[in-house]
Copies of this chain bind each other. A is one copy, B any other.
């Protein structure tokens, strides 16, 4: 019975997500759904992406959080259009919340829309928002066992950024073990090591984004 309810919810969500995708496509907007654990570096990645694409691509940002508008304030300082969604307890964004945000976003002035989801490795993976690509930020201090413990997330995403590689000398994180774990779940996924603190690897990520946008 409970499973039936969940299926209905997911199917209703999927329909709205498809409408979101159509709206994005009509406006020539490429959107990514950015997910991670709390504090893995989603907002820092957005700041590095804005910096890396300045003057090249018009960016818009939707910030999803249970509570607070901290991230929207930080990103807003970069002079890009930004909207905060507070889920008020919900542990993930859904297509309906995204739809509301899209109707308030100046889509004609946006080429790349980054949707920062709630910090959560489980529930966020289940709900499509209508974005073109799903991006996971996984950070080195979380440990290399994460793919085995949160398989759905690693299965769902198109690219995994291993963030905080500047901390590798101080951790027992093994990049090989991590990558093997990811590939065991998702053969086709891209894996890029980055540091949003030092900027290492950001050029490759930005170039990946530009390639995806040109293919759309």
Binding site for B on A (CB under 8 A): 37-40, 65-68, 70, 89, 91, 118-123, 139, 141-143, 145-146, 148-152, 164, 166-167, 170
Interchain CB contact under 8 A, B145 and A70: yes
Q: Within the complex, which residue of B65, B118, B149 is in contact with A119, where a contact is CB–CB below 8 Å?
A: B149
Interchain CB contact under 8 A, B149 and A66: yes
Interchain CB contact under 8 A, B37 and A149: no
Interchain CB contact under 8 A, A91 and B123: yes
Interchain CB contact under 8 A, B38 and A142: yes
Question: Which residues of chain B come closer than 8 Å to A89, judged between CB atoms?
Answer: 122, 152
Q: Within the complex, which residue of B39, B118, B166 is in contact with A142, where a contact is CB–CB below 8 Å?
A: B39
- A11 vs B148: C-alpha distance in the bound complex, in angstroms? 33
Q: Which residue of B lies closest to A140 (CB)?
A: B141
Q: State the Cβ distance, A63 to closest chain B Cβ, in Å.
A: 11
Question: Which residues of chain B come closer than 8 Å to A150, judged between CB atoms?
Answer: 38, 66-67, 119
- A145 vs B72: C-alpha distance in the bound complex, in angstroms? 13
Q: Considering the complex of A and B, which 3 residue pairs feature the smallest CB-CB distances, nearest first? A: A39-B142, A141-B141, A91-B122
Question: Which residues of chain B come closer than 8 Å to A118, judged between CB atoms?
Answer: 122
Interchain CB contact under 8 A, A68 and B141: no
- A37 vs B167: C-alpha distance in the bound complex, in angstroms? 18
Question: Which residues of chain B come closer than 8 Å to A167, judged between CB atoms?
Answer: 141, 167, 170
Q: Which residue of B lies closest to A151 (CB)?
A: B67
- A208 vs B150: C-alpha distance in the bound complex, in angstroms? 32
Question: Which residues of chain B come closer than 8 Å to A39, judged between CB atoms?
Answer: 37, 139, 141-143, 146
